[in-house]
């Protein structure tokens, strides 16, 4: 693993030719959750989805009740300590200065996982050990990239990642071993990336790429979508918390130099066809590579 997690803006494609790997890096406790200038907009988007499509973006099993409560308590202590300009706490009341919201942590009008998801831009997933497997038992998921929460609930990691080419036979065993060995107090992160022709964070269904993307306009029509993912095990319940913070940047702003254009081109060209298809790059690959060649 690297010695230090990168800082935004994230450009994971610049790390070299594409390869399917965990790519885990250690994280400091202070860097667990991102609270930046996009927080207000991200929380507004979450509030809307939770109001209008709650059943699609939130689900929790009964066995996740205790981990959810532990996660909320951890976040309620972490946020005022590491992001004091935004969050403040007085007794059981946790306030967000940016949104003007105040939450009564003792009232529990919401499920603790539901409340936890409304505090931060990150999506939050709870995974619990059942035998040698970790099962998805709860999530607040407002920025899915081509997957539906209802279809993944109650499934082990290998089934959750079944659509990922090469995961089961290549990466799956390493992921299972890592989860089994992860200890409380250890915090790690990774970056995952893809391209989209729609900047909407909530994209549970794969759609056909829009027509008319060319080597001339690909920079304006395509978007770099980077997921900053973190993993940690809770000390009391032993559940693993998986967070996902999604950053979406128009391609001509994400690729800011000829070197970055060349790096993205090499990453795409080294990506197996099955992975290009899974990431929906294949239909726009010719236009994308043409635009990158012009930019480089």
Minimal CA–CA distance to 56: which of 144, 116, 156? 144
Percent of the chain with pLDDT over 70: 99
Q: What is the pLDDT of residues 79-105, one digit of tens each?
A: 999 999 999 999 999 999 999 999 999
Contact partners, residue 93, CB within 8 Å, separation at least 6: 102, 103, 104, 105
Residue 209 confidence (pLDDT): 75
pLDDT band at 2 (very low <50, low <70, confident <90, very high): low
Residue 24 confidence (pLDDT): 95
Q: What is the pLDDT of residues 219-259, one digit of tens each?
A: 999 999 999 999 999 999 999 999 999 999 999 999 999 99
Residue 3 confidence (pLDDT): 61
Q: What is the pLDDT of residues 115-136, one digit of tens each?
A: 999 999 999 999 999 998 999 9
Q: Is the pLDDT of residue 296 over 90?
A: no
Residue 1 confidence (pLDDT): 44
Q: Is the pLDDT of residue 23 over 60?
A: yes
Pick from 106-110, 198-202, 261-265: least confident: 106-110
- DSSP helix/strand/coil, 55: helix
Percent of the chain with pLDDT over 90: 90
Q: What is the pLDDT of residues 150-168, one digit of tens each?
A: 999 999 999 999 999 999 9
Please list the residues that pair with 96 across neighbouring strands: 87, 101
Is 26 within 8 Å of 188 (Cβ atoms)? yes
Q: Is the pLDDT of residue 8 over 70?
A: yes
Q: What is the value of pTM for the model shown?
A: 0.96
Q: What are the CA-CA distances from residue 10 to residues 70, 136, 225, 278 (Å)?
A: 30, 27, 10, 21
Alpha-carbon span 116 to 51, nearest angstrom: 15
Minimal CA–CA distance to 250: which of 5, 33, 9? 9
Alpha-carbon span 81 to 96, nearest angstrom: 13
State the average pLDDT over residues 25-33: 97
Is 154 within 8 Å of 135 (Cβ atoms)? yes
Q: Is the pLDDT of residue 208 over 90?
A: no
């Amino acid at each position: 693993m690297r010695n230090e997690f990168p800082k935004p803006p994230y450009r994971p494609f610049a790390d070299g030719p594409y390869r399917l790997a965990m790519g885990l890096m250690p994280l400091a406790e202070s860097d667990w959750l991102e609270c930046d200038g996009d927080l207000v907009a991200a929380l507004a988007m979450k509030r809307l989805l939770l109001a209008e499509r709650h059943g699609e973006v939130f689900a929790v099993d009964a066995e996740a009740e205790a981990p959810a409560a532990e996660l909320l308590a951890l976040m309620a202590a972490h946020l005022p300590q590491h992001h004091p300009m935004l969050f403040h706490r007085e007794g059981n009341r946790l306030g967000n200065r940016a949104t003007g919201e105040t939450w009564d942590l003792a009232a529990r009008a919401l499920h603790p996982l539901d409340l936890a998801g409304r505090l931060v831009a990150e999506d939050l997933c709870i995974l619990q050990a059942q035998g040698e497997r970790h099962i998805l038992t709860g999530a607040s998921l407002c920025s899915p990239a081509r997957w539906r929460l209802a279809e993944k609930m109650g499934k082990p990691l290998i089934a959750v990642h079944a659509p990922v080419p090469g995961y089961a036979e290549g990466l799956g065993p390493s992921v299972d071993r890592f989860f089994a060995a992860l200890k409380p107090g250890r915090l790690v992160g990774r970056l995952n990336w893809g391209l989209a022709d729609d900047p909407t964070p909530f994209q549970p269904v794969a759609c056909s790429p829009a027509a008319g993307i060319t080597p001339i306009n690909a920079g304006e029509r395509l978007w770099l979508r980077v997921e900053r993912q973190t993993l940690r095990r809770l000390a009391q319940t032993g559940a693993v918390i998986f967070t996902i913070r999604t950053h979406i940047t128009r391609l001509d702003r994400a690729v800011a130099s000829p070197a970055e254009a060349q790096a993205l081109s090499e990453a795409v060209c080294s990506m197996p066809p099955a992975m290009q298809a899974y990431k929906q790059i294949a239909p726009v690959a010719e236009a994308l590579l043409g635009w990158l060649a012009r930019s480089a």
